[in-house]
Amino acid sequence: MPKAYSILVLSNGHGEDIIAAAILKDLLKKEKSLKVSVLPIVGEGHAYKELPIKLLGPLKNLPSGGFMRQSLKNFIKDLKGGILSLTYNQILTLRRIRKEIDAVICVGDVLLIILAGLFVKKPTIFIPTAKSEYISGHYGIEKKLMRKYASLVLPRDEKTAYVLKKSGVPARFVGNAMMDSFQVKGKDFGISKGAKVVGILPGSREEAYQNMKMILKIVEQLEILKVEKMEYLTALANQLSLDRLERAVNEIGWSMQLTQDQQAGGVIAVLVSPKGTIVKLTKGFFGDVLEKSDIFIGLAGTANEQAVGMGKPLVTFPGNGPQFNKKFVKAQKKLLGDSISVVEPDPKKVATELLVILHDRERYEKMGRIGQERMGPRGGISRMSELILKQLGYKM
């Protein structure tokens, strides 16, 4: 029996935090002796707060939401927001704790294995969530860094693992962790029998408030164009503020009403249009939103991928924020193929496309199949945690 290992987890993004937290939950279930420290490079690490781990700092939300490299504008915003001092102090943290650490798990992009390789210098397991051969694959320099710093790489799909292995990277595909990073808890949200449910994924970052305004305009068009009963169910990220969302929707004439028995029904509040249309808001029941929805309007990263992985078609369009712009949507389309439909950011056009998909059974089912093929089945996290423990020397 090996000694009780001390693991450091690095992640850099909201979706990456959720994936890493799900992996840690399974690791700690399988091996309770593990000592785990976590340093979220981006954001405040909300996904980790219910786990028996040590959350390191400093922690800070930056203006770009972790998308500094997508544009010069984002880069300048983050410089003004203090990214240099944040990164410097995070490096100090890594150097301070490295003697206590036996191994590192990095969930995100190659920047993390650079930080681990330079400042922790311990065996590193890398779970690259940001890239896939379905988009453009990893650059030669990224493969070189993986060969240098990573003892095990667990990519998100078989195709990417195959290409990395051919390049000498110690890569294996055992499943896509994203599909195990949520739970279906059995909430029904009071959905009416026979209603078509439109799931709403506004994103997890600052831009979500503005995204929601556009999505509500789409809902207004759906109410005009629909030929059957429709209900609307929103999955809000935990860090989004209801107060800020209320202020945003008030600008377009919608109001917010808090619900009384929030935990029992799973709905924390409803948004109400001037004509009385209701959009339900949920927090903490993302898996149930995926389960109950028939189709999605999505302006998210990881959440969009998880939705199509559940076999649900998704309609999207470029937003105005630093993450969900034209470049991001183009990359997501390459990644997810025809499981998503990209439309111009026009409320009527988005609503029309959504209704066309809902009423074309052959296309609806084809989109669902493609999403499941691209994302893979559930069960990957259990296989990942077993492989990680074997890598550490535990007998499984």
**Domain boundary assignment for the chain:** 6-175+379-392, 196-375
Burial of 318 (0-12, 13-18, 19+ CB in 10 A): middle
Give the pLDDT of the chain (396 residues) as one tens digit per residue: 456 789 999 999 888 999 999 999 999 999 999 999 999 998 889 899 999 999 998 888 776 665 556 566 667 777 877 788 898 999 999 999 999 999 999 999 999 999 999 999 999 999 998 899 998 889 999 999 999 999 999 999 999 999 999 999 999 999 999 999 899 999 999 999 999 999 999 998 889 999 999 999 999 999 999 989 999 999 999 889 999 999 999 999 999 999 876 555 789 999 999 999 999 999 999 999 999 999 999 999 989 999 999 999 999 999 877 778 998 999 999 999 999 999 999 999 999 999 999 999 999 999 999 999 999 888 899 999 999 999 988 865
Which residues are bridge partners to 54 per DSSP?
37
- Is the distance from CB of 155 to CB of 128 less than 8 angstroms? yes
Closest by CA to 160, choosing from 335, 367, 389, 382, is 335
Whole-number CA gyration radius for the chain = 21
Neighbours of 347 (CB within 10 A): 18
- Is the distance from CB of 178 to CB of 305 less than 8 angstroms? yes
Q: In this structure, are strands 6-11 and 103-108 parallel, antiparallel, or unpaired?
A: parallel
Q: Tell me how far apart the alpha carbons of residues 40 and 239 are, in angstroms, rounded to a whole number.
A: 14
- Is the distance from CB of 254 to CB of 272 less than 8 angstroms? yes
List Cβ neighbours of 152 (8 Å cut-off, separation of 6 or more): 125, 126, 170, 172, 387, 388, 391
Closest by CA to 333, choosing from 379, 380, 370, is 370
Long-range CB contacts for residues 225-231, cutoff 8 Å, separation at least 24: 225/348, 225/351, 225/352, 225/355, 226/355, 227/355, 228/195, 228/196, 229/192, 229/194, 229/195, 229/196, 230/195, 230/196, 230/197, 230/198, 231/191, 231/192, 231/195, 231/196, 231/197, 231/198, 231/278, 231/280
Q: Tell me how far apart the alpha carbons of residues 144 and 378 are, in angstroms, rounded to a whole number.
A: 30
**Distance between start and end Cα atoms, the chain:** 11
Neighbours of 236 (CB within 10 A): 25
Q: What was the pLDDT predicted at 151?
A: 96
Could you tell me the CA-to-CA distances from 12 to 62, 107, 139, 150 in Å, in that order?
12, 7, 19, 17
Q: Tell me how far apart the alpha carbons of residues 253 and 190 are, in angstroms, rounded to a whole number.
A: 25
Q: What was the pLDDT predicted at 68?
A: 58
* Residue keyed to tokens 């296989």: 383
CATH number belonging to domain 6-175+379-392: 3.40.50.2000
- Is the distance from CB of 373 to CB of 338 less than 8 angstroms? no
The amino acid that residue 338 corresponds to is D
Burial of 300 (0-12, 13-18, 19+ CB in 10 A): buried
Q: Tell me how far apart the alpha carbons of residues 396 and 393 are, in angstroms, rounded to a whole number.
A: 9
Q: What was the pLDDT predicted at 65?
A: 61
Burial of 182 (0-12, 13-18, 19+ CB in 10 A): buried
Q: Tell me how far apart the alpha carbons of residues 348 and 276 are, in angstroms, rounded to a whole number.
A: 19
Angle at 367 between CA 330 and CA 346, to 5 degrees: 50
Token pair recorded at residue 93 = 């943290």
Q: Which fold has domain 196-375?
A: Rossmann fold (3.40.50)
Q: Tell me how far apart the alpha carbons of residues 179 and 174 are, in angstroms, rounded to a whole number.
A: 12
Dihedral sign computed on CA atoms, order 110, 339, 373, 15: positive
Query: How large is the angle between the packed helices 302-309 and 361-375, nearest 10 degrees?
Result: 120
Tell me whether domains 6-175+379-392 and 196-375 share a fold.
yes
